[in-house]
């Protein structure tokens, strides 16, 4: 059995999900969204993300982490800020000595839906189909579950 934490990084909303994977079987454990206070400074938000992801690792004891790779936005400033949030989550996981696997958005979508350019609704439907116990309330939470599932699908024959 492998317990996976999936992370969809963001400065305002960092989605997270915990699943267990054994061969081709998946089990939903928990999911949610880290919401740094909007009034915090950039360093304050990054610290909040770091501390909350650290707590999730302590609480759920994942064996592996899968996280989305930041794609380049039209606005370079947005890409840079998203990279900071991603780094805060990565450092929190790395601090717990948990192996980290990084995936591009289109590879996550393809692993889940067989279409690299699937939209959020298609991803949500596959999350619900593959893990009926999951009830994601936001796209960030749904994406985090998808990231964990994609990792488990790419590694399903690892025992």
- Decide if 12 is inside a domain: yes
Burial 141-150 (b: 16+ CB within 10 A, else e): bbbbbbbbbb
* Cα→Cα distances 20→6, 28, 69, 80, 152, Å: 11, 7, 22, 32, 9
- Decide if 159 is inside a domain: no
Cα(84)–Cα(43) distance, rounded to whole angstroms?
Answer: 9
Ramachandran bin of 96, using left for φ above 0, alpha for ψ from -120 to 50, beta for the remaining angles: alpha
Q: Which domain holds residue 21?
A: 2-154
- Decide if 110 is inside a domain: yes
Give per-residue pLDDT as tens, 16-72: 999 999 988 999 999 999 999 999 999 999 999 999 999 999 999 999 999 998 776
Task: Identify the bridge partners of residue 17 per DSSP, sorted by sequence position.
Answer: 6, 31
Dihedrals φ, ψ of 82, to 5°?
-60, -40
Annotated active-site positions, please?
8, 68, 140
Cα(48)–Cα(112) distance, rounded to whole angstroms?
Answer: 30
- Decide if 108 is inside a domain: yes
* Cα→Cα distances 129→112, 113, 124, 135, Å: 10, 11, 9, 11
- Decide if 146 is inside a domain: yes
Closest CA to 10 of 94, 68, 63, 76: 68
* pTM passes above 0.85: yes
The CATH number covering residue 113 comes to 3.30.420.10
Give per-residue pLDDT as tens, 65-105: 999 987 766 778 888 888 999 999 999 999 999 999 999 88
Q: Number of structural domains, the chain?
A: 1
Structural tokens at position 14: 């960092």
- Decide if 22 is inside a domain: yes
């Amino acid at each position: 059995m492998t317990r996976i934490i999936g992370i969809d990084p963001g400065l305002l909303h960092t989605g997270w999900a915990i699943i267990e994977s054994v061969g081709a079987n998946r089990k939903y454990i928990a999911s949610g969204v880290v919401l740094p206070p909007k009034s915090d400074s950039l360093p304050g938000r990054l610290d909040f993300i770091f501390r909350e992801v650290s707590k999730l690792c302590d609480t759920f004891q994942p064996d592996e982490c899968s996280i989305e790779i930041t794609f380049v936005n039209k606005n370079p400033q947005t890409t840079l800020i998203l990279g900071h949030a991603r780094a805060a989550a990565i450092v929190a996981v790395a601090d717990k000595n948990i192996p980290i696997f990084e995936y591009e958005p289109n590879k996550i979508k393809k692993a889940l839906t067989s279409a690299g350019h699937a939209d959020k609704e298609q991803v949500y439907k596959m999350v619900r189909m593959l893990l009926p116990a999951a009830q994601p309330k936001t796209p960030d939470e749904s994406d985090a579950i998808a990231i964990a599932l994609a990792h488990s699908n790419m590694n399903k024959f690892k025992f």
